[in-house]
Structure 1
Amino acid sequence: MMAGHNTWRTLRDKRLQEAGVEEHPEYTRALRDMDLGDRLREVRVARNLTQAEVAARAGISQPALSRIELGGGIPTLEMLDRIGRAMGVRFTISVGEEEAEQIDLLAG
């Protein structure tokens, strides 16, 4: 995890505590976006790829990929597919509550 993300989490926790609030939907979404970016960066680095290489292969700009990795950009499913292909991986994305029944829409 990046130091900047850790600092953000600390600041978020402090502000929520000061406001007397458990959680806020905007913080939840921002954390989810940052976690996605962290995971994409981990995969890219593990495969010894630069942002420039992945971006070129995915047909996006390097700054756009950087923004996604930093949690500041939310890629579409199509863009995630292109990024995954550029890194030679297939992403599986889960939505909904973890305890809920899981249904594979693409299973034949």
Structure 2
Amino acid sequence: MSEREEWSEMRAEALTHPEAQEAYEATRIRFELGREVRERREALGMTQAQLAQAAGLQQPAIARFEAGGTMPTLPLLERLAAALGLRLQVGFEPLDRAS
């Protein structure tokens, strides 16, 4: 058995616990939000420092956010969206359609 298979099995076992599922979901959300911001920033040719200035933040805050290190508030997401030339849209989708 490879390390990958062992890890997959360990992860699957861990995610059978509700607390682990909640933590995993919170981490997934932070990671996806950070990735979306980074991809948009890069598409615009902005540096983290430029985004930080446009959003009224410090560059380390952008770096932490893009790495999935913080769970942002809605006002922070609105500031980042505006700095990236976007409109924040929040919604819900059925779990069977979620990725």
Does residue 83 of structure 2 align to residue 86 of structure 1? yes
Counterpart in the other structure of 1:55: 52
- In 1, the alpha carbon distance for the partners of 2:28 and 2:50 equals 26
Whole-Å separation in 2 of the counterparts to 1:11 and 1:44: 36
Partner of 2:24: 27
Structure 2 CA distance, aligned partners of 1:41 and 1:30? Answer: 16
- In the alignment, which residue of structure 2 is the partner of 1:7? none
Residues 59-97 of structure 1: CA distance to partner in whole angstroms, max 9, x if unpaired? 1111001111111012211111111111111121224xx
- Answer whether contact 1:12 1:27 (CA < 8 A) is retained: no
Structure 2: runs of 5+ lacking an equivalent: none
Larger helix share, 1 or 2: 2
- The TM-score normalised by the length of structure 1 is 0.69
Cα-Cα RMSD: 2.7
| Partner of residue 10, structure 2 | 15
Provide TM-score, normalisation by structure 2: 0.75
Mind listing any 5+ residue stretches in structure 1 that lack a counterpart?
1-9, 101-108
SS at match of 1:93: coil
CA deviation after TM superposition for structure 1 residue 13, in Å = 4.1
Of the structure 1 ranges 19-28 and 50-59, higher mean CA displacement relative to structure 2 is found in 19-28
Q: Identity over the aligned pairs, expressed in percent?
A: 35
Aligned residues: 89
